[in-house]
Structure 1
Amino acid sequence: MRTALVIGTGLIGTSAALALAGRGVRVHLTDHDPAQARTAAALGAGTDEEPEDPVDLAVVAVPPAHVAAAVADAQRRGLARGYLDVASVKGGPRRELAALGGDPRRYLGTHPMAGRERSGPLAATADLFEGRPWVLTPTAETDTEVLNLALELVALCRAVPVVMDADAHDRAVALVSHTPQLLSSLVAARLEGADETAVRLCGQGIRDVTRIAASDPAMWVDILSANPGPVADVLAAVAADLDETVTALRALQSADEDDRKSGVSGIEDVLRRGNAGRERVPGKHGAAPATYESVTVMIGDQPGELARIFADAGRAGVNIEDVRIEHATGQQAGLIQLMVEPGAVPSLTAALRERGWSIRQ
């Protein structure tokens, strides 16, 4: 691949352009907002000048509702040898493109499973896709050259290709991406009118659950509008679980012993099912999740503290597998959990204590 055209210079389009440009591809940028394309160009993502000849690959990075029209228009103008999109919904755009008379042989629907709470070109990074799954949804009609160009794009972005059926993809992202966004927003919405004293008690748990609630509402309206059925199906199942959980909690308030036992059983069931589901989430390097133990350390909120504790762990010969930080309310300090292999806990604890760190049990 020598040349590419990125249509849509938001977070995903600009990040792909930065990755391609950084690996020697001449990238042309266009957007319905020329100022946004100029911003992406100024960041080093390519040039906002139109290509003189057809490029090797056109990457359509627009909201799902506009993918089919953008691909059909680009194909009519003969802008590229191959065309793909990077929207988070795949089945609908493909069917819409066919209805518009687009060429399915030169088009491939893809979806990089990467993103941030922020949007726009200024949020883009060349390494956004590194190590992340990038779904490809070829059909029997897909031209081999287009599939090869898509695979080259994934490789240049250092992502991991995953081949799926388009509709199976849409059902999957409804479960692992779209529904979690709504649930995060629903929990965060409970905080809007909450008493200030309650909000001050927020800890790491509520921060974890509501992190993605900071996402752009307009962007998510576009996404959910393109995949409403599968998302509604998952939410209906969640709603059924919620109804059963509410019933179980009410039973715990009962004076009747049998009702309370039923309530305990219901709550235990949903928690155990949650344990089982969580264990299926891929862990480090996409492997089955490993069992780590944590060493919890008090750390000051000042420059250099994180670097110092990581360096001390390194000197102890311990690999940090994961990190969690919980900030202390109203204090210039917090707790950092260093996730390590169980056998490394004693040596790491001893080494950190020797270097003056305050270990919390």
Structure 2
Amino acid sequence: MRTAAVVGTGLIGTSVALALTAQGVTVYLRDTDVTAVRTAAALGGGLAETPPGPVDLAVLAVPPARIGATLRQCQQADLAHSYTDVGSVKEQPLRDIEELGCDVARYIGGHPLAGRERSGPLAARADLFDGRPWVLTPSKETDTETLNRALEMVALCRAVPVVMEPRAHDHAVALVSHAPHLVSALMAARLEGAADTATRLAGQGVRDVTRIAGSDPGLWIEILGANATAVADVLAGLADDLGETIAALRALAAEDEAKRSGGVDGVTGILRRGNAGHARIPGKHGAPAARYEAVPVVVGDQPGELARLFADVGASAVNIEDITIDHSPGRPAGLIELMVDPAAAEGLVHDLRRKGWNVQR
């Protein structure tokens, strides 16, 4: 691939442009927002000009509802030999494309499963897709050359290609992305009218659950609107589970021993199902989920403290598999949980304490 065009210079589009440019591809940028194009170009994402002829591949980084119309415009202008998109739903855009009479053979749906809470070109990163799944959804008409160009683009962005049917993709993302976003928003909405004395107690648990609730509602209404049925199906199952869990919790508060015992069984059952589901989430690099041990360390909120901690862990020849930070309310400190191989945990605790770290273990 020598040339590409990116239509839409928000977070994802500009990140694609930066990744391709870093691999030596000449990228041409388009957007109805002139400022966004100029920003993406200034960041090194490519050229804010019209290509002299059709590029190898055009990436349509526009909302799902606009993919069909944008593809038709680009094909009428002969912008590229092949086209893909980065929309988070695939069935509805494909139907739009077919109804608009686009050349479906030269189009393949795409969806990189990567993003950030921030939006816009200034939030873009060339390494945003490193090691992340990038779903490609060829239709029955998609030609081999278009599939190969899309696969090459995914490789240049250092992502991992996953080929799926459009419907299977939409049901999968409803389960692992779209429904969780709404659940996060619903939980965060419980905090809107909460007393300050309650929100001051917020710890890492509620922060984890509500982290993605800060995303742009305008973008998400388009995503959810294009995949509403699949998301509703997931939430309907969740609603059934919630109803059973509420009944079990009510039983836990009952004076009758038999009811209380049934409540224990009900709540225990949902927690165990949660354990089983959580265990199915892939671990690092797509490997089966591994069990790590937490080493909690109190770190002062001063410049260089986190770097010093990491350096001391590295000096102990221990690899940090994961990390969480729980900020202490009212104190200039945070609790850092270093997730490490269980076999290395005790030795690391000894080394860190010897170097003066406050290990909470």
* TM-score, normalising length: structure 1: 0.99
1:189: which partner in 2? 189
Residues in 1 aligned to 2:140 and 2:66: alpha-carbon distance in whole angstroms: 24
Residues in 1 aligned to 2:338 and 2:295: alpha-carbon distance in whole angstroms: 5
Q: Aligned pair count?
A: 361
Residues in 1 aligned to 2:177 and 2:328: alpha-carbon distance in whole angstroms: 30
1:103: which partner in 2? 103
Residues in 1 aligned to 2:249 and 2:320: alpha-carbon distance in whole angstroms: 39
Deviation at 1:348? 0.4
**CA deviation string 1:167-194 (max 9, x = no partner):** 0000000000000110001100111110
Structure 2 residue matching 1:192: 3-state secondary structure: coil
1:240: which partner in 2? 240
Structure 2 residue matching 1:338: 3-state secondary structure: strand
The share of aligned pairs that are identical, in percent, is 63
Residues in 2 aligned to 1:328 and 1:153: alpha-carbon distance in whole angstroms: 43
2:342: which partner in 1? 342
Structure 2 segments unaligned to the other structure (5+ residues): none
2:263: which partner in 1? 263
Residues in 1 aligned to 2:285 and 2:28: alpha-carbon distance in whole angstroms: 33
Residues in 2 aligned to 1:29 and 1:202: alpha-carbon distance in whole angstroms: 43
Q: Letter of the aligned partner of 1:16 in structure 2?
A: V
1:274: which partner in 2? 274
1:6: which partner in 2? 6
1:302: which partner in 2? 302
Structure 1 residue matching 2:291: 3-state secondary structure: coil
Residues in 2 aligned to 1:99 and 1:236: alpha-carbon distance in whole angstroms: 31
Residues in 1 aligned to 2:317 and 2:11: alpha-carbon distance in whole angstroms: 38
Q: How does 1:157-168 map to 2 (within 5 A)?
A: 157-168=157-168
Deviation at 1:345? 1.0
* TM-score, normalising length: structure 2: 0.99
**CA deviation string 1:306-340 (max 9, x = no partner):** 11111111111111111111111100011111111
**CA deviation string 1:206-231 (max 9, x = no partner):** 01001000111101011001100000
**CA deviation string 1:11-56 (max 9, x = no partner):** 1100000111111111111112122111111111111111121111
Structure 2 residue matching 1:47: 3-state secondary structure: coil
Residues in 2 aligned to 1:225 and 1:41: alpha-carbon distance in whole angstroms: 32
Q: How does 1:47-86 map to 2 (within 5 A)?
A: 47-86=47-86
Runs of 4+ in structure 1 deviating by more than 4 angstroms, as ranges, are none
Residues in 2 aligned to 1:343 and 1:54: alpha-carbon distance in whole angstroms: 56
1:355: which partner in 2? 355
1:315: which partner in 2? 315
Residues in 1 aligned to 2:316 and 2:253: alpha-carbon distance in whole angstroms: 51
Q: Letter of the aligned partner of 1:241 in structure 2?
A: D
Residues in 1 aligned to 2:330 and 2:137: alpha-carbon distance in whole angstroms: 49
**CA deviation string 1:262-288 (max 9, x = no partner):** 111111111000000000000011101
Residues in 2 aligned to 1:208 and 1:354: alpha-carbon distance in whole angstroms: 32
Structure 1 segments unaligned to the other structure (5+ residues): none
Deviation at 1:140? 3.1
Residues in 2 aligned to 1:133 and 1:61: alpha-carbon distance in whole angstroms: 17
**CA deviation string 1:86-114 (max 9, x = no partner):** 10001111111011101111000010000
Q: How does 1:121-132 map to 2 (within 5 A)?
A: 121-132=121-132
